[in-house]
Amino acid sequence: MHIAMIGTGYVGLVSGACFAEFGSTVTCVDRDAGKIERLRSGDIPIFEPGLDDLVARGVRSGRLRFTTDLPTAVSGADAVFLAVGTPSRRGDGHADLRFVEQAAIDVAKALSGYTVVVTKSTVPVGTGRRVAELIRDTNPEADVDVASNPEFLREGSAIGDFMRPDRVVIGCETARAQAVLRELYRPLFLMETPMVVTGLETAELTKYAANAFLATKITFINEIADLCDKLGADVQDIARGMGLDGRIGKKFLHAGPGYGGSCFPKDTLALARTAQDVGSPVRLVETVVQINDRRKGAMAGRIMAACGGSVRGKSIGVLGVAFKPNTDDMRDAPSLSIIPALQDAGATVKAFDPAAMHEAQSLLPDVEWCADPYAVAEGAHAVALVTEWNEFRGLDLERLGAPMRQRVFVDLRNVYRPEVVRAQGFAYTSIGRP
C-alpha cells in the first residue's frame, strides 16, 4: 500500500518508518527543506532508540522516502496521515489546530482517486468532522473518507509500542475506510492485536481519556508519596501493594517530580478545556493539572531543604534534564521548573544529560553543562537526580562524593536504596520513603 505521512515530527517519523518496516511504501512530507535533507542523509533530528537504524533500513529498501513535494506524495496514496503538531494554544490551553487545518486543505488540493485521510495527531473531539468539511469545501469532487487513528507511542520505546501495541484504535464511518486501515495494520493480525473500531468522536476522545487517566495515576501516587513523607510510610511498597491488584496495575505508579513531555501536559489541559466548553467539566483532570504544575516547582524546595534550607551561594549538580529517560524531549520537563527556581534562590547549577543537553541549552541559561555525571559533582554542595537514565542507576558513589563540598544526594526518582547511599556518607533524600 502507498502512504503519505504529512509531518516528520516524532509521531510522523516513527509511524512512517514503522509502516515502511511493515511493507508499505511511505512518503514522509515536511515543509522544512533543511529537515528533509537531514533525513535523506540519515541524520535523525530526534533521539529515539533504534529509530536511526529503522529509517536507514526503510530508505535502503526503497519503501521510505522524504520530500517537500506534498502534491506528488498525496496523489495516488491509499491513505494520507496527518501527523502535524497540535501544541497548546496560548491563552486558553485549547489544542492549536492551525497546522492540522492547513494540512487538510493542502491534501485536499492534491487528492486523486479514493483516499482515506487519517488524523494521527492528538486532536480534540470534532476535529475529524472539521477535516472532512475542509476537504469537501476545498475539493468537492474528492473521493475521500476521513478517519481517526490516534497514536499511543511512549517516547523512549516508541518503535516497540508501534510494532507490538496493546491495541489499535480506528475511528471511521465506512466499511471502505475500515478495510484500508485494517490492511495497513494487517502485520499485527498475526499477533492478534486487538482492533478497536469506533466512530470518529469516540476514537478522538479515547486518546485524551487514556492520557488523562495515566496522568491521574502519576499524580495520585505523587500525592500518596507526600503523605508518606508525613507519616513515615514507604511509597514504593505501597505502589507494589496497589499495583499487584489486577484492577489497578503497576504501571505509572512511580513517585517523582511530576509528569512532563509532549503529551500529558497539553492533552490533560486540552481535555479540561473541551469539557468546560460543552458544559461537562472534568474536575478530576482539572485538579490533576493544577497539582502537577505545583509539584514541579515544589521539587526545588526539597533540594533547598536538603541543603539546610538555603542554596544561596551553593553549587547544585543536576543529573538529567529531559522529561524522561531515552529521549531528548524537554517539553514541560520538571527540570525547567527546578533549575530556574534554584538559580532564583541564589544557586549555581551544573548539569549533565546523556541526550538532551543540546535541546536544553537555550531553555536553561546560565547552567554549566558537564561531560559526565561525575563532573557534575565537582565542588557541589548537593547532587539531585532528576531524570532516571540507566547510566545514573549504578553510579560509583564514592567517586561521586569525593569531589563534593558536601555529600548531599537528592533522589527525585527513588532510584537508590537509602541505606546504600547513606553508607557512603551521604545525607540522602528521596520521595515518599522514610
Which active-site residues does the annotation give?
Answer: 263
Grid coordinates representing 364 are 536553561
CA distance 266 to 295: 16
**CB-neighbour burial class of residue 313 (10 A; exposed 0-12, middle 13-18, buried 19+):** exposed
Grid coordinates representing 200 are 470518529
Number of C-alpha atoms within 13 angstroms, CB side, residue 110?
22
Q: What phi, psi does 270 have (nearest 5°)?
A: -65, -40
Identify any residues that bridge with 382 across adjacent strands, giving them in sequence order: 316
CA distance 154 to 296: 21
Q: What phi, psi does 43 have (nearest 5°)?
A: -90, 105
DSSP H helices in 25-154: 33-40, 51-61, 70-74, 98-110, 127-138
Residue 208, CA distances (Å) to 182, 249, 262, 274, 284 in order: 23, 20, 13, 11, 14
Asked if residue 163 lies in contact with residue 135, where contact means CB atoms within 8 angstroms, the answer is no
First-residue to last-residue Cα distance in the chain: 57
CA distance 326 to 341: 25
Asked if residue 383 lies in contact with residue 402, where contact means CB atoms within 8 angstroms, the answer is no
Contacts with 118 (C-beta within 8 Å, 6 or more apart), sequence order: 79, 80, 81, 82, 146, 147, 148, 149, 181
Asked if residue 81 lies in contact with residue 3, where contact means CB atoms within 8 angstroms, the answer is yes
- Show contacts of 102-106: CB within 8 Å, 24+ apart: 103/6, 103/7, 104/130, 104/131, 104/134, 104/135, 104/138, 105/134, 105/135, 105/138, 106/6, 106/70
